[in-house]
Amino acid sequence: MKEAVSNNLMEQTFRRLREAGETALMPFITVGDPDPDTTVDILLQLEQAGADIVELGVPYSDPLADGPVIQRASERALVHGITIETCLETAKKARNRGVTMPFVLFTYYNPMLQMGLEQFFTLLRQADISGLIVPDLPFEESEEVLRLGDEHGILLVPLVAPTSSERISLILSRARGFVYCVSSLGVTGERSDFHKGVDDFIASVKAGTDLPVAVGFGISNGEQVQRFSRICDGTVVGSAIVRKIEDSLPLLQSKDQREQGLLQIRDFVAQLKIR
């Protein structure tokens, strides 16, 4: 088991970046928005734009932790009946098309529960998924998922929030892969202000773990990526990219302008990358 974990692609990527003194750019996209084939094409663009690790969002009918942009993306994907299986098939297709960066699956708890946790982790391993984020599965409810993740070599990445305070050390004690710091109170979505005290919060998390620390929720432009890259090991950009995809829908869905739509997304992500 130990070996399987140390061979984890995401851990390797963080190690490589740390040695090079770089931070990870970690885009989030909703799989199947607007359709699975386009997701594969977008993943290729993200990698070319310099993404280091990608979060693959499983669309869900009731995304409690998400703001309107990702809610709409979920709705668009669910029109096509996207399931966890579809998401994992999409990940495999992207691998076959040459995407090499690590995949982290972002899913609410109920869809994985309905599949059956054993089956879920088996499929994750087969699809070369490195890590797992479950936004509605707090520490207290996570024991079985963590155990199965360890057995299958899938890293259960915990979220810590500015309100976590004394829970931080508890959460860090069972963290795997990296620690995901929620930048602000609230749901996902672009914002101009972050929680005051966010720097102290991130510093306190960094002090409590040797794992990489990534920041997300609200990071939407290159300036903000720079700001947080100075104090952590990775930045997650979600809603801003999903909004870019939404804005590009007319292009993506037209035969002769599809390339242009994909390039728009690539350019947007490329300018987030610190070079």
Q: How far is the CB of 225 from another protein (least distance, A)?
A: 22
By CB under 8 A, what part of segment 27-46 binds another protein?
Answer: none
By CB under 8 A, what part of segment 77-96 binds another protein?
Answer: 78, 83-84
Q: How far is the CB of 45 from another protein (least distance, A)?
A: 28
- Catalytic: 66? yes
Question: Distance between CA 235 and CA 54 in Å, rounded?
Answer: 11
Nearer to another protein by C-beta: 40 or 187?
A: 187
**List of residues 6+ apart from 150 with CB closer than 8 A:** 1, 5, 176
Question: Distance between CA 133 and CA 155 in Å, rounded?
Answer: 9
Residues in the chain: 275
Name the active-site residue from 66, 150, 190, 233.
66
Nearer to another protein by C-beta: 49 or 157?
A: 157
Residue selected from 102, 135, 212, 216 as contacting another protein according to rule CB under 8 A: 135
For residue 267, what are the CA distances in angstroms to 27, 72, 177, 241, 250?
13, 23, 29, 11, 17
By CB under 8 A, what part of segment 155-194 binds another protein?
Answer: 158-165, 167, 171, 182, 185-187
Question: What 3 state SS string does 112-153 have?
Answer: HHHHCHHHHHHHHHHCCEEEEECCCCCHHHCHHHHHHHHHHC
Question: Distance between CA 273 and CA 17 in Å, rounded?
Answer: 13
Nearer to another protein by C-beta: 61 or 257?
A: 61
Residues that bind another protein in the complex, under the rule CB under 8 A: 60-62, 64-65, 67-68, 71, 78, 83-84, 109-115, 135-141, 158-165, 167, 171, 182, 185-187
